[in-house]
Structure 1
Amino acid sequence: MLTRNIIIPLLITLDLFVPGLAIAQDNNEPPAQLVEVDSVNAEMITARIWVPGTVLSVTDSELSSEVSGRITWMANVGERIQAGQPVVKLDSQRLEITRNQDQANIEKWQARVNLLSARVDRFDSMAAKQNMSEDQMDEIRAELTIARQELVQARANLELTEYQIVQSQVTAPFDILVVERLQSPGEFTSVGQVLLRVVDPTKVEASVRAPLSVIPFINKGMAVPVSDSRLQVTQTVRSIVPVGNARSRMMEIRITLDPNDFIIGGAVRVGLPNSAAHEGHTVPRDALVLRKSGTYIYQVDANNKAQQIPVTTGAGLGERIEVKGKLLADGPVVIRGAERLKDGDKVRMSSATETSEELVAAAL
């Protein structure tokens, strides 16, 4: 009798708890997975090829002197000098002596011209009185003409000497950066001998060799991506030289660059169009899920469920890539956390306030 009284309450207790347990099991759905999403962009797409290039100064010059002489001073390698400022100074003492000689010649011939002019005036009055022959008059007039020409020559010599004195200081033809010294102070230089190699650091461009196949798709002023190991920027095509080498079938293209972005002499890569533009959709490269069965992306539908969509890839556009498939019209694409998803999984899209540590924790 005692046993029966104990069992009945136990059965009643189980009846109370088992229905609740069944309800909990029915509602035990997996939690929504935290993912990071980005947009699917509809844009004009063109295939690109990446070609190597070299950063050059628009002006790369070798400076020389118009006069000969001993170098007394020269700018150091690495110095930046403004246009019109001296970069090389030569000893001008010999030229200054020549200038004194030229001034003396001017005075000499000026005195000769004055003397002959006075004689011509006197002889003219004598000739009027028929006290002098025509031959004598012609001779004195010829001497005066010669003296005047010598005076003109003497003045020209002085002007040339003064010009050479000015040129004994080689000045910067533009804002320059001294790259290399080819002679040093104390050495003697002759006319036209190269003294310095300089560049204009404010105007740089990239010189690239591109295949002739890009000619139909590129034009002057077009914006193209330029990158190196540090950054990628978009710049414009300055000029196209549509003449190919007989062996390589390559032509030269010049791309304008910002001097603050790239170093002269550095290597860059330039993306050039290699097909006609067409409309398409692009996603970040991180959105691609690569499996043996194919390539997929996950888009989030209106019910916050991940939809697995098979895609094929097309042209690459920097950090984005063209995809082709049955994409959702307005669904964002998962770019982080997709490797943990299955088709139909409930997801929770990350907001701007959620940190990368939270996403990593969710992945773990």
Structure 2
Amino acid sequence: MLNSMKNNMNNTIKHLAWGSALFLSLTGIGFAADVAGKPVKVDTVQNQVLASTTDLNATLYSRSHIPITAGVSGKLERIAEPGEYVDKGGLLVSLDLVPLQLRQAEQQAQIKREQINLAYLKKELSRLEQLSLTKATSQFQLDQTRSKYELASADLDIAQLKLKQVDDQLSRAVLKAPFAGVVTERIVRAGADVNRGDVLLKLLDTQNLEARLYIPIKYLAYVNKGDELRMSASDKSVFGVVFAKIPRADPRSQTFEVRLSIPQSLNNFWAAGQLVRVTVPTQAAKKGLTVHRDALILRKDGTYVVKIDAQNKVTRLLVKVGQGDKERVTINGELEHGDKVAIRGAERLSDGETVVVQ
């Protein structure tokens, strides 16, 4: 029994020793952390041009989404299917060419006939002109032959023009894509008879997109042609250039239209008809000192930022906040370009504290 009591006392002493060691270890870690300083994340004060902004929805459109119409009347032999991609100059529609080819052959034969007739009359006119020098032919016969020759020459010109018309119709019986794109809609099917001007299909240019944005008229002065505005959608963000500004307000919505170009690198991610977010300036841009929005500490008595000096010492400064965008705001206070301010871990810091910059 005595041995059992000794063993229990030894175990108790060991547990107390381990507990004391663990407590001292944790206390030492906390003490070391206090000595080193609280961790903070910092950002740099920057002198830059900044304007207040707002986000608006814009809709993507293709630069070209056009109906393809029949150039001549005839029977459809081939027409592109919806969803089919066609390169520029690729075949979209072809009509039955046989009727036009027969007219072409007929007109070529007519031209040959007119040429033969004209050659005969030319020789006859030349012969009569020689005879008229010796008074061996009448003036009436000479004038009549000259008239027939001139009429035959005009008939040849008409026949050649008709051949050109047939050639033009043949060229328009085969419709090629004016630009690379995708067929979005097919109106008629192969085998149908169509008339000139009938809409056959619709072709969408997928390579050249634009964003159409309607902005409140009160911001008219802050958006101009050539400006770059940030656009975002589908986890993609890019700057688009304003290539058209239409300063005419819609009477109902009191908005004006702006169009922005879309980089072709986004063609695989964005599509016509999609909504995108566009960041639009709502004030004139001004140059001034700016800080990240996360640097602002809002209190009842004002707005503060925490400046971190070269020795990692803390100084809390009262600032006046001006205009800004999503990430940064302009400020007035005892700060200079290049100063470091805390953007994480600043809320509980006091003047004179030492911090660890992460």
TM-score (norm 1): 0.79
Q: CA RMSD in A?
A: 2.9
For the residue of structure 2 that corresponds to 1:260, the secondary structure is: helix
Q: Distance in 2 between matches of 1:134 and 1:39?
A: 106
Q: Distance in 1 between matches of 2:223 and 2:327?
A: 22
Q: Does 1:43 align with 2:51?
A: no
User: Which residue number in structure 1 is paired with residue 20 of structure 2?
Assistant: none
User: Which residue number in structure 1 is paired with residue 161 of structure 2?
Assistant: 156
User: Which residue number in structure 1 is paired with residue 5 of structure 2?
Assistant: none
For the residue of structure 1 that corresponds to 2:264, the secondary structure is: coil
Aligned residue runs from structure 1 range 194-209, under 5 A: 194-209=199-214
Q: Does 1:276 align with 2:284?
A: yes
- Corresponding letter in the other structure for 1:167: R
- Corresponding letter in the other structure for 1:300: I
Give structure 2 stretches of 5+ with no counterpart: 1-26
Q: Does 1:334 align with 2:339?
A: no
User: Which residue number in structure 1 is paired with residue 6 of structure 2?
Assistant: none
Out of 115, 130, 144, the residue aligned to residue 110 of structure 1 is 115
User: Which residue number in structure 2 is paired with residue 353 of structure 1?
Assistant: none
Moved more, 255-264 or 141-150: 255-264
User: Which residue number in structure 2 is paired with residue 322 of structure 1?
Assistant: 330
Instruction: Call closer, same or farther: CA 1:180–1:112 in 2, change over 3 Å.
Output: same
User: Which residue number in structure 1 is paired with residue 229 of structure 2?
Assistant: 224
Out of 138, 142, 146, the residue aligned to residue 143 of structure 2 is 138
Aligned residue runs from structure 1 range 35-184, under 5 A: 35-184=40-189
User: Which residue number in structure 2 is paired with residue 300 of structure 1?
Assistant: 308
Q: Distance in 1 between matches of 2:348 and 2:130?
A: 121
Give the conservation status (yes or no) of the 8 Å contact 2:128–2:142.
yes
Instruction: Call closer, same or farther: CA 1:330–1:174 in 2, change over 3 Å.
Output: closer
Give the conservation status (yes or no) of the 8 Å contact 1:302–1:331.
no
Residue 178 (structure 1) shift? 2.5
Percent identity over the alignment is 31
Q: Distance in 2 between matches of 1:251 and 1:203?
A: 23
- Corresponding letter in the other structure for 2:216: P
Number of residue pairs aligned between Structure 1 and Structure 2: 326
Q: Distance in 2 between matches of 1:219 and 1:103?
A: 59
Instruction: Call closer, same or farther: CA 1:181–1:136 in 2, change over 3 Å.
Output: same
Give the conservation status (yes or no) of the 8 Å contact 2:211–2:260.
yes
For the residue of structure 2 that corresponds to 1:186, the secondary structure is: coil
Residue 108 (structure 1) shift? 1.7
Out of 31, 38, 41, the residue aligned to residue 33 of structure 1 is 38
Instruction: Call closer, same or farther: CA 1:125–1:209 in 2, change over 3 Å.
Output: same
Q: Distance in 2 between matches of 1:329 and 1:153?
A: 82
Runs of 4+ in 1 over 6 A off after TM superposition: none
Q: Distance in 1 between matches of 2:127 and 2:48?
A: 97
Q: Distance in 1 between matches of 2:80 and 2:349?
A: 66
Residue 132 (structure 1) shift? 2.9
Instruction: Call closer, same or farther: CA 1:134–1:223 in 2, change over 3 Å.
Output: same
- Corresponding letter in the other structure for 1:101: E
Instruction: Call closer, same or farther: CA 1:340–1:193 in 2, change over 3 Å.
Output: farther
For the residue of structure 1 that corresponds to 2:111, the secondary structure is: helix
TM-score (norm 2): 0.80
Question: Could you list the per-position Cα deviations for residues 234-293 of structure 1 after superposition, in whole angstroms to 9, with x for gaps in the alignment?
Answer: 232212222222333322112122022242222122223332222333333333445666
Give structure 1 stretches of 5+ with no counterpart: 1-23, 351-364
Moved more, 326-335 or 127-136: 326-335
Q: Distance in 2 between matches of 1:201 and 1:28?
A: 64
Q: Distance in 2 between matches of 1:290 and 1:231?
A: 32
Out of 257, 265, 273, the residue aligned to residue 252 of structure 1 is 257
